[in-house]
Amino acid sequence: MSDTRQLHLGAFMRPVSLHTGAWRYPGAYADANFNFAHIKSFAQKLEAAKFDAFFMADHLAVLNMPVEALRRSHTVTSFEPFTLLSALASVTERIGLVATASTTFDQPYHVARRFASLDHISGGRAGWNIVTTANPDAALNFGLDDMVDHDERYVRAREFFDVVTGLWDSFADDAFIRDVDSGIFFDPEKMHVLDHKGPELKVRGPLNIARPPQGRPVIVQAGQSEPGRQLAAETAEVVFCSPRDLAGGKALYADIKGRLEAVGRKRNDLKILPAAFIVIGDTVEEARQKRLKLDSLVHYDSAIASLSIALGHDASGFDPDAPLPPIPETNASKTGRSQVLKLAEEEGLTVRQLAQRYGGYAGLAFVGTADTIAEEMAVWLNEEGSDGFNVVFPYLPDGLDDVVDKLVPELQRRGLFRTEYEGTTLRDHLGLSRPENKFFR
Amino acid sequence: MSDTRQLHLGAFMRPVSLHTGAWRYPGAYADANFNFAHIKSFAQKLEAAKFDAFFMADHLAVLNMPVEALRRSHTVTSFEPFTLLSALASVTERIGLVATASTTFDQPYHVARRFASLDHISGGRAGWNIVTTANPDAALNFGLDDMVDHDERYVRAREFFDVVTGLWDSFADDAFIRDVDSGIFFDPEKMHVLDHKGPELKVRGPLNIARPPQGRPVIVQAGQSEPGRQLAAETAEVVFCSPRDLAGGKALYADIKGRLEAVGRKRNDLKILPAAFIVIGDTVEEARQKRLKLDSLVHYDSAIASLSIALGHDASGFDPDAPLPPIPETNASKTGRSQVLKLAEEEGLTVRQLAQRYGGYAGLAFVGTADTIAEEMAVWLNEEGSDGFNVVFPYLPDGLDDVVDKLVPELQRRGLFRTEYEGTTLRDHLGLSRPENKFFR
Ligand SMILES: Cc1cc2nc3c(=O)[nH]c(=O)nc-3n(C[C@H](O)[C@H](O)[C@H](O)COP(=O)(O)O)c2cc1C
Ligand SMILES: Cc1cc2nc3c(=O)[nH]c(=O)nc-3n(C[C@H](O)[C@H](O)[C@H](O)COP(=O)(O)O)c2cc1C
């Protein structure tokens, strides 16, 4: 495997896209949140394109936004990830399946079981996006009055990881003998009772599931704070992140990879995959126009609130169709304000267009032809900005088809992406080794 | 729908059978616990035979049995039900999918989401087997030192049901407008915030899932105690039970159906499906021999413990190959003892054979030809012993094939079972109506 020189590609899925205007884009499947047939077709196309993984973000409450934005957003509801990814497991064969599970609002025995089971059902394709859950509304759905404190969430996450990985190792790989003649089904000597008693969690075990085919489902982490990065360095095999640009990507890459040695891990044990919004045209200008058209579908009333937040300044009185007026700099809004100003200048956007950008999707984006985007991606890879990308589709199905039909072949032509899966598990795709059992060697 | 005069058939599945010797039976898939392809083939065969539902029992710990029995039992580990049933949802089209979820060791927000999601993915085929979890080892896997008290478990179960059904009704059926022109995705007036604050649970809501296609996944209950029966009367649409014989079945049927009127429900709103172990031969004698052969695969060391428990008397000193010696009657063991004596007499079994019966599967069984079994089932239906059965296969795949290929056609010939699905949802199969939304009419 020429691992270091090839990109890893995940699909950062929401059924209708992460972009809040996407459901109105011509050809979009506006009902995809609860239309399994659509999502199945997306997963099968991504598998045909040899993507490493299909990733479904997840939230434990209706997203908290002002009602004016909420009623216009398709992100309000969708499938629960385990049911969805398991249903996809039986209609795909190779693509990795990464589900989100919260360490703050779930139990390690449940989480360990579900991922182990998904790993068995999929033949070794499961990944766990460990999140501590940031949305304070989630707490209210689980009996609490207030969100658990940020640091405490990360302390529990670290212990939760130890318990889940310990439970996965409840049985040696060769515990199940199934010897029909002697009548011995399994060897109890090869079953480990975890008996974990920690400050946050008490779990006896053993898990009632055989060791997962991958030994451990792949561990993914997306927290960006200091404790989030440290948790990633200690536990994660893939990091999802959202740098704004190459400089930000390189800084994050250096920071997280730089933490590995101190915890006894190698640089290649962890892959960093920034979220990248990709809009492809036959010309760069066509791609830009597609993006402007998509942004234009975000309603101004909800968009302007997002711009005001980004600016740290109420923008609702500005002329929507004029350029951004001069805005006084305040301490609170320094970074946000300078980003908006930079964007306004680079793309020559009006207030309305800026608002719609922030209300739609304002993260890292590659907008151009298959050729220019492949070139940009190669730069990220070569300059250690990332080990690949977690692709955000601007609208579906067409935006996904463009990536699969145009960008992937261009990446393959350049030797930057596989033309066939070399193995069968998600670990194989990512070039990660199968961990040994903690209790049986 | 000629609902009252037809049987409903569920499959009470364990991947290798509930019978502890089944993995050693000739032709058995001993590895089915973690071989999805096998389970998929079972589900597809049951669907071709027009079964109402595929039901997967579930436990939150390795079953607690003496190690001598444990190491010989294939029931020790298997798939987690949501991942399994979701994977089956995408490779089947009509059969109902009933998963077990515990009200004692899970959170209503999670449970509501997963069943709603499974119902969407499967097009309205989900059912929830509500259990309060009896295995004390489960508590140890969820941070507790002791099992929650039986009554308290049922109090929480009742409130849990209210919360879950309330969350399912978070959105009116027509909340999602998705009007591309106006840009309105959904109508917030048609979203209900539950804001439940009860003695056991506090859950705000709304659920982040659209109302399930069935309105509510079908509610199943299998508790047999007084509070278990009352919970069933108040909430369940299907009752799984395990009477020993027709007299016991009729008593249970009368008891549970008799509770319905007082809680404002009709007799037909709840279907009673006893577990029935079915062994089919071309002659009655052949069926009996199959069963004896299967029982003989249960190891004597684990079998004799089961017999001692059933007798309430240590049987380990008895001559295995002689008839049961006379046993003093004690107060503690009255019912069990008389059942064993009855069985020993009826079938002329030795101590070894009795032990193997109790160590294998000792519940209600129909052993005979397709014809004699269809006749027995008709009697149960006509005498109000049940509304159908939850079929336990003695060994797989052959025992399942016998039911599908021999018994089902015989039931169909007699007009006792459907020859085609009449609807698409599990509610349709069971002749249950779609509940109205509690908050939007
Ligand atoms: C690419 C990406 C994907 C994420 N997916 C989820 C998700 O599915 N569910 C969730 O609750 N949070 C998700 N997050 C949020 C992070 O888990 C985390 O809460 C956030 O980045 C804030 O970091 P911190 O908690 O370390 O402060 C995601 C973040 C990123 C960058
Ligand atoms: C047919 C049948 C299926 C059952 N399936 C499960 C199951 O999947 N998981 C579980 O924990 N208990 C299961 N049980 C046990 C019941 O939920 C219940 O705990 C038991 O019948 C004792 O009743 P009680 O709790 O009302 O005393 C099942 C019982 C029966 C009769």
Q: Does B67 reach chain A within 8 Å, measured CB to CB?
A: yes
Q: Which residues 125-154 in chain A show a CB within 8 A of chain B?
A: 137, 140-144
Domain A8-280+369-430 bears CATH identifier 3.40.50.1000: no
Look at residue B415 and tell me whether its pLDDT is greater than 80.
yes
Q: Are B367 and B407 in contact (CB under 8 A)?
A: no
Nearest of A147, A57, A171, A159 to residue A108 by alpha carbon: A159
| Dist. CA B275 → ligand 2 center (Å) | 11
Direct distance between the N- and C-terminal alpha carbons of chain B, in angstroms, rounded to an integer:
26
**Facing residues of A367 across strands?**
A279
> Percent of chain A having pLDDT more than 70?
98
Tell me the CA distances in angstroms from A313 to A64, A341, A345, one per residue in order. Answer: 21, 13, 18
Judging contacts by C-beta atoms under 8 Å, the chain A residues touching residue B172 are none
Tell me the CA distances in angstroms from A238 to A290, A374, A427, B266, B366, one per residue in order. Answer: 31, 22, 10, 55, 54
Q: How far apart are CA B351 and CA B307, in angstroms?
A: 9
Kindly give the pairing relationship between strand B218-221 and strand A196-197: unpaired
Q: Is the pTM of this model over 0.95?
A: yes
Overall size of chain A counted in residues: 441
Do the Cβ atoms of B30 and A180 come within 8 Å? yes
Tell me the CA distances in angstroms from B416 to B2, B49, B383, B402, one per residue in order. Answer: 10, 13, 14, 18
Look at residue A63 and tell me whether its pLDDT is greater than 90.
no
Q: How far apart are CA A330 and CA A114, in angstroms?
A: 48
Name the one residue in this structure whose structure tokens are 């060897």: A187
Do the Cβ atoms of B91 and A89 come within 8 Å? no
Look at residue B327 and tell me whether its pLDDT is greater than 90.
no
Kindly give the pairing relationship between strand B365-368 and strand B196-197: unpaired
Structure tokens at B354: 């009795």
- The mean pLDDT value for B339-362 works out to 94
> Percent of chain B having pLDDT more than 70?
98
Do the Cβ atoms of B185 and A23 come within 8 Å? yes
Look at residue B175 and tell me whether its pLDDT is greater than 80.
yes
Tell me the CA distances in angstroms from A45 to A440, B1, B384, one per residue in order. Answer: 39, 42, 52
- The mean pLDDT value for B77-91 works out to 97
| Best B34, B59, B294 residue to mutate vs chain A (most A CBs within 10 Å) | B34
pLDDT band at B332 (very low <50, low <70, confident <90, very high): low
Tens-digit pLDDT profile for residues B193-216: 999 999 999 999 999 999 999 999
Q: Are A218 and A98 in contact (CB under 8 A)?
A: yes
The per-residue pLDDT of chain B, averaged, comes to 95
Angle between helices A370-382 and A246-258 (to 10 degrees): 30
Q: Are B373 and B413 in contact (CB under 8 A)?
A: no
Peptide bond into B397 cis (omega under 30): yes
Look at residue B35 and tell me whether its pLDDT is greater than 50.
yes
Name the one residue in this structure whose structure tokens are 């009752």: B239
| Dist. CA A102 → ligand 1 center (Å) | 10
Looking at residue B75, its amino acid is: T
Look at residue A319 and tell me whether its pLDDT is greater than 70.
yes
Judging contacts by C-beta atoms under 8 Å, the chain B residues touching residue A86 are 82-84, 86-87
Q: How far apart are CA B237 and CA A97, in angstroms?
A: 35
Judging contacts by C-beta atoms under 8 Å, the chain B residues touching residue A74 are 178, 185
Closest CB from A30, A114, A176 relative to B83? A114
Angle between helices A81-89 and A108-121 (to 10 degrees): 20
Q: Are A400 and A29 in contact (CB under 8 A)?
A: no
- Give me the residue spans of the domains in chain B: 8-280+369-430, 285-359
Tens-digit pLDDT profile for residues A176-234: 999 999 999 999 999 999 999 999 999 999 999 999 999 999 999 999 999 999 999 99
Nearest of B58, B78, B32, B135 to residue A171 by alpha carbon: B78
Q: Are B200 and B95 in contact (CB under 8 A)?
A: no
Nearest of A279, A252, A276, A280 to residue A364 by alpha carbon: A276
Nearest chain A CA: its distance from B371 CA (Å): 33
> Which long-range contacts (C-beta less than 8 Å, at least 24 apart) are formed by B338-345?
B339/B244, B339/B310, B340/B307, B340/B310, B340/B311
Write down the pLDDT at residue A329: 77
| Dist. CA B100 → ligand 2 center (Å) | 10
Tell me the three state secondary structure of residue A410: helix
pLDDT band at B3 (very low <50, low <70, confident <90, very high): very low
Nearest of B265, B119, B107, B101 to residue B196 by alpha carbon: B107
- Angle in degrees, CA B242, B258, B231, rounded to 5: 60
Nearest of A222, A275, A215, A259 to residue A427 by alpha carbon: A215
| Dist. CA B123 → ligand 2 center (Å) | 27
Look at residue A333 and tell me whether its pLDDT is greater than 80.
no
Q: Are A371 and A235 in contact (CB under 8 A)?
A: no
Write down the pLDDT at residue A240: 97
Q: How far apart are CA B330 and CA B312, in angstroms?
A: 8
Give me the total of CB pairs closer than 8 Å, taking one residue from chain A and one from chain B: 198
Closest chain A CA to residue B297: A183
- The mean pLDDT value for B10-34 works out to 96
Nearest of B172, B136, B113, B132 to residue B63 by alpha carbon: B136
- The mean pLDDT value for A327-347 works out to 83
| Best B79, B97, B146 residue to mutate vs chain A (most A CBs within 10 Å) | B79
Nearest of B359, B272, B265 to residue B311 by alpha carbon: B359
Q: Of the bound ligands, which one is closest to the alpha carbon of residue A252?
A: 1
Write down the pLDDT at residue B368: 98
Q: Does B12 reach chain A within 8 Å, measured CB to CB?
A: no
| Dist. CA B223 → ligand 2 center (Å) | 5
Q: Does B29 reach chain A within 8 Å, measured CB to CB?
A: no
Write down the pLDDT at residue B101: 97
Structure tokens at A57: 């973000």
pLDDT band at A1 (very low <50, low <70, confident <90, very high): very low
Tell me the three state secondary structure of residue A343: helix
pLDDT band at A5 (very low <50, low <70, confident <90, very high): confident
- The mean pLDDT value for B261-280 works out to 97
Nearest chain B CA: its distance from A219 CA (Å): 18
Q: Which residues 361-390 in chain A show a CB within 8 A of chain B?
A: none
Q: Are A370 and A258 in contact (CB under 8 A)?
A: no
Judging contacts by C-beta atoms under 8 Å, the chain A residues touching residue B79 are 117, 120-121, 209
Q: Name the region of B411 (left: φ>0; alpha: ψ -120 to 50; beta: rest).
A: alpha
Tens-digit pLDDT profile for residues B285-321: 999 999 999 999 999 988 998 999 899 889 999 999 9
The per-residue pLDDT of chain A, averaged, comes to 95
Angle between helices A246-258 and A226-235 (to 10 degrees): 60
Do the Cβ atoms of B90 and A36 come within 8 Å? yes
Structure tokens at B71: 């190491």
Judging contacts by C-beta atoms under 8 Å, the chain A residues touching residue B67 are 188
Those residues with Cβ within 8 angstroms of residue B161's Cβ, 6 or more apart along the chain or in another chain: B103, B130, B219, B231, B235
DSSP A83-112: HHHHHHHTT-SSSEEEEEEESSSS-HHHHH
Tens-digit pLDDT profile for residues B93-149: 999 999 999 999 999 999 999 999 999 999 999 999 999 999 999 999 999 999 999
Write down the pLDDT at residue B333: 65
Closest chain B CA to residue A111: B80
**Facing residues of A350 across strands?**
A323
**Facing residues of B391 across strands?**
B11, B276
Which of A309 and B166 is assigned the larger pLDDT?
B166
Tens-digit pLDDT profile for residues B239-270: 999 999 999 999 999 999 999 999 999 999 99
Write down the pLDDT at residue B270: 98
Q: How far apart are CA A341 and CA B155, in angstroms?
A: 59
Q: Does A24 reach chain B within 8 Å, measured CB to CB?
A: yes
Measured from the Cα of B227, ligand 2's closest atom is: 26
Those residues with Cβ within 8 angstroms of residue A127's Cβ, 6 or more apart along the chain or in another chain: A53, A55, A96, A97, A98, A99, A217, A218, A219, A220, A238, A426
Closest CB from A80, A143, A188 relative to B71? A188
CA quadruple B393, B394, B398, B403: dihedral sign? negative
Phi, psi of A236 (to 5 degrees): -80, 150
Look at residue A102 and tell me whether its pLDDT is greater than 60.
yes
